[in-house]
Amino acid sequence: MNQRTIQTAIAVTGIGLHSGEPVDLAFYPQPTDTGIIFERSDIIGTAPVPADAFLVQDTLMSSNLVLDDVRIGTVEHLLSAVAGLGIDNLLVRVSAAEIPIMDGSAAPFVNILLDAGICEQEQPKKFLRILRPVRVHLGDKWAELRPYDGFELNFEIDFDHPAFDKDQQHAQFHFSTHNFIEELSAARTFGFLKDIELMRQNNLARGGSMDNAIVIDDMQVLNVDGLRFMDEFVRHKILDALGDLYLIGYPILGRFNAYKSGHALNNLLVREILSDENNFEIVTFDDNVSSPIDYLRSTDAIV
Ligand SMILES: [Zn+2]
């Protein structure tokens, strides 16, 4: 199983969630062992910002990378798409301090990257295999990674609110590209109307609307078309976690379990794993049969 990049450069335009302004986004193929790197097209002469968990500086509403005052905000949905498609090497060039919000899910990024085409490269794909359980806590919230032959994510949220069905607050996701595209990538971010109004007063979320989030008032979901999945909220939390975990630098072989986790705790977990070499090893696979993760080999198979 080899590393992957995209076949050709491709560009798309969206809206910044916080600025409300148009943002240009472009993707470029990269050589093996480059990893995922970001550049700002509106700032000349700055070093690329790698997708590195230790560069995450604030996690209030999203995961944001900062290197030498160069900020790349809201990377998690894009990184979720990149992880979901098994892309190892990619340059992302963005014209503002935040990745555009698109429809609030990872599906638009999946579509544009599939339009560019996925190509396999000449070097083996590297995985990070979890060797022993590591768990982090923040109050009653926790997140952990445990050894597992594959990649699985279990997530539980706990909202005591009429819009959140009690039976739809836990989900288990077995990772493969196919499952990611079908079951996870379209799950949208969500927010409460009163929080959004508060953010607007503080000049945040100016681009936020029901076009790019599920909006909930005191009683119910306000979007006319309702939810895309019965358990869309918890699916989105798994989508977020997948993007946040990709900042570890490799696809993970392990089982992720989380209770009410978010960007801060996901990042803490990644840092904790990387802080001790006994927690993990980097492995490669000589052939597709022995790989415990199923990435689709050809974009032809992805429709
Ligand atoms: Zn999100």
Per-residue pLDDT of the chain (303 residues; tens, 9 = 90+): 899 999 999 999 999 998 899 999 999 999 999 999 999 999 988 899 999 999 999 888 889 999 999 999 999 999 999 999 999 999 999 999 999 999 999 999 999 999 999 999 999 999 999 999 999 999 999 999 999 999 999 999 999 999 999 999 999 999 999 999 999 999 999 999 999 898 888 888 889 999 999 999 999 999 999 999 999 999 999 999 999 999 999 999 999 999 999 999 999 999 999 999 999 999 999 866 677 888 876 544 443
How much is the pLDDT for 300? Answer: 45
How much is the pLDDT for 122? Answer: 93
How much is the pLDDT for 35? Answer: 98
CA of 6 to the centre of ligand 1 (A): 24
How is residue 295 written in tokens? 């990435």
Q: Are strands 90-94 and 36-40 parallel, antiparallel or unpaired?
A: parallel
CA of 122 to the centre of ligand 1 (A): 33
What does the alpha-carbon distance between residue 51 and residue 242 come to, in Å, rounded to a whole number?
A: 13
CA of 282 to the centre of ligand 1 (A): 28
CA of 66 to the centre of ligand 1 (A): 19
What does the alpha-carbon distance between residue 294 and residue 267 come to, in Å, rounded to a whole number?
A: 25
Report helix, strand or coil for 108. helix
How much is the pLDDT for 302? Answer: 44
For the annotated binding site for Zn(2+), the residues are 77, 236, 240
For the annotated binding site, the residues are 77, 236, 240
How much is the pLDDT for 298? Answer: 52
How is residue 97 written in tokens? 């301090």
Give the count of beta carbons closer than 10 Å to the beta carbon of residue 52: 17
Determine whether 18 is an active site residue. Answer: no
Instruction: Supply the DSSP symbol for 189.
Output: P
Q: Residue 52: in which H helix or E strand, if any?
A: none
Q: 2-301 is classed in which CATH architecture?
A: 2-Layer Sandwich (3.30)
How much is the pLDDT for 291? Answer: 78
How much is the pLDDT for 58? Answer: 81
Instruction: Give me the catalytic one of 18, 161, 178, 263.
Output: 263
Domain boundaries, the chain: 2-301
